[in-house]
Amino acid sequence: MDSNFLRRIYVLVFLLILSFAVVVARAVYIQHFQYDFFSVKAKKQYNVPIHLFSQRGAILDRNRRILAFDVPSYSLYAEPRSMSFADKEKAASLLSSILGKDKGFIKSLLNKDKAFVWLARKLPLDMKVKISALGIKGLGYRTEFTRSYPDNGLMCHVLGFTNVDRKGIAGVELFYDEFLRGEDGVQWLIKDGRQVKMPIGNELIQPRDGLSIELTIDEVIQNITERALSNMIDRFHPDSCWAVVMDPFTGEVLAMASWPNFNLNEYNKAKKEAMRNRVITDMFEPGSVFKIITAVAALEDGVVDENTEIFCGNGVYKVAGHILHDCHPYGILTFRQVIEKSSNIGTVKTAQMLGKERLYSYIKKFGFGRKTGIDLPGEINGSIRPPGKWSKISISAVPIGQEVGVTSLQLARAVSVIANGGYLVRPYVCARFLDKNGSIIKDLSMYRNRKRIISQETSERIKEILVGVVERGTGRRAKIKGYRVAGKTGTAQEIVNGVYSNTEFMSSFVGFVPADSPQFVICVTADTRKPFHFGGVVAAPAFREIAEKSLKYIGVAPTKSDGQHRPNRNF
């Protein structure tokens, strides 16, 4: 046999053996060193995950009226690898006008070397029907859920909202997100070699729906409160205004409203300024409303009684070189009259007898300078400096609500102490968690965490003084026929560029009704300008409207003409 021929045979055999060795080596390498990589790749190619979306829990008011819930929507996707060039051209051309998206953008998605791309999320049913009628191959839908708020802007600052993935990003939706959102599931389907889905799966994780939440808020009282603010806006044109309604015995928030507000279903169009829940985020000097704390401290410590006479300097009083004025030149007033007529001088003289250390201790007892602990995001502490950091004139400022920063919720809680007989309560908005059948999973009522901070006797004495404020003093516009009302006005100059403004004011009224059997504590606050800037003029009428309509709603009849009153509520 020819040696050259044999040489060629040997070379061929060698090459065959070498090729086989390479194949074997490659197979061994893949099996032992890249097994995990190719196993995952194969699984992705032949196993298709189908996302099973959980349903977010609903939010209900105290009477289980629906305030927020999930509605089905349809998210459009494409499978570019299974689409022909003609299919992609047709899809891009027809979908651009329906979806309101650029044709080139849709083509760029369809030209990706992917098995799956989203084209549009959360479409309504009518749009799904319209697109399905086009008969475009390679398109599909997955049912998701969209958050819906049937009352649009009602209690928008309390409810908050979710993003496109239904994750809470404000209000109750954010604070209780982990309970509301539940957990999504997944179904794995199998594809054959032609990428056709088979109606079988080898793994299923069922979705777990979120819990629903029942709030302490009453939708009717919330409507009453928001309408009262709207009427205030129409009449006095404040830059902003807000109000809170509480049960003074439990801390349950029955209504909480701020203006400007926004539509929860179109939150992405809202201005940032409109998204603030001013009841808990805005700090202001309360002015004369704060005289309630000074009065409580003086009576509780026995510094004065209701009939103690105080000379009010005929409207002028000098403290450490600073001249303090009253709106009217009062002479001698009883302590009761000092509060009824809101005398700055009489209040400061009382505080001087009390002393700054004792006054400060009562301010802290009432919870000022720290969060109330309400279950809503964004609450601030407020501000109160310890006596060691007071200036020489602070004793003439703090007792009348200057050099102090508070929120309206802090004021409402403080006045609740007077209404409920001396207990500091914790405000809250979430009453209980419910399952999808409405059964109670957990009761979150927190009012048992109350703490007595003043005596029953002192609370009753202050209550009568606050009734006098409405009957004979600065709060006359809060009077309601047939009911005894207790409350206090506040008008405070705003600080603008570091100095007190003569044109911009914070106007407020806080009180409770009926005085003899309190159902509501209501605090109304407005950022106002002259000439409509007094708390008794701007805020008191809104208080009256909220209180009167809310009492009628819950069926509390007016007091009989014989002067008899309902007994005080007990815990």
Q: Do residue 284 and residue 186 come from a single domain? A: no
- Is residue 33 over pLDDT 70? no
**Residue indicated by tokens 């070397």:** 113
288 classed as catalytic: yes
Could you give the C-alpha distances from 268 to 16, 93, 122, 250, 388, in angstroms and in order?
68, 29, 16, 35, 47
On whether residue 504 sits in a domain, the answer given is: yes
- Is residue 430 over pLDDT 70? yes
Q: Do residue 211 and residue 292 come from a single domain? A: no
C-alpha span between 171 and 129 (Å, rounded): 35
Residue type, position 85, single letter? F
The pTM assigned to this predicted structure is 0.84
The domain total for the chain is: 2
What residues are paired with 532 via a beta bridge? 529
- Is residue 186 over pLDDT 60? yes
Q: Do residue 306 and residue 209 come from a single domain? A: no
C-alpha span between 359 and 63 (Å, rounded): 42
3-class DSSP state of 228: helix
Question: Residue 191 in contact with residue 48, Cβ under 8 Å?
Answer: yes
Q: Do residue 344 and residue 472 come from a single domain? A: yes
Residue 196 has a CB neighbour count (10 Å cut-off) of: 9
Q: Do residue 455 and residue 316 come from a single domain? A: yes
As given in the structure block, the two tokens for residue 249 are 């015995």
pLDDT-derived band at 44 (thresholds 50, 70, 90) equals: low
pLDDT digits (tens, 9 = 90+) for 191-229: 555 555 555 555 677 888 899 999 999 999 999 999 999
- Is residue 45 over pLDDT 80? no
As given in the structure block, the two tokens for residue 535 are 């708390």
On whether residue 492 sits in a domain, the answer given is: yes
Beta strands in 290-350 (DSSP E): 309-311, 316-319, 322-325, 332-334
pLDDT-derived band at 566 (thresholds 50, 70, 90) equals: very low
DSSP letter assigned to residue 488: E
pLDDT digits (tens, 9 = 90+) for 468-523: 999 999 999 999 999 999 999 999 888 887 888 888 999 999 999 999 999 999 99
3-class DSSP state of 289: helix
For the domain that residue 60 is a member of, what is the CATH number? 3.90.1310.10
As given in the structure block, the two tokens for residue 385 are 């400096």
For the domain that residue 484 is a member of, what is the CATH number? 3.40.710.10
- The pLDDT value recorded for residue 530 is 80
On whether residue 7 sits in a domain, the answer given is: no
Q: What are phi and psi of 485, to 5 degrees?
A: -115, 135
pLDDT digits (tens, 9 = 90+) for 60-106: 999 999 999 998 888 898 888 888 888 888 888 888 888 888 888 98
- The pLDDT value recorded for residue 35 is 61
C-alpha span between 66 and 60 (Å, rounded): 5
pLDDT digits (tens, 9 = 90+) for 451-467: 999 999 999 999 999 99
Q: Do residue 166 and residue 309 come from a single domain? A: no
Q: Do residue 208 and residue 347 come from a single domain? A: no
Rounded mean pLDDT of the chain?
88
Domain closes at, from 162, 181, 215: 215
Indicate which residue of 75, 240, 288, 508 is catalytic.
288
Question: Residue 153 in contact with residue 264, Cβ under 8 Å?
Answer: yes
Residues in the chain: 571
C-alpha span between 122 and 25 (Å, rounded): 51
Q: Do residue 331 and residue 451 come from a single domain? A: yes
More confident residue, 499 or 298: 298
- Is residue 41 over pLDDT 60? no
**For residue 105, what are the domain limits?**
49-194+203-215
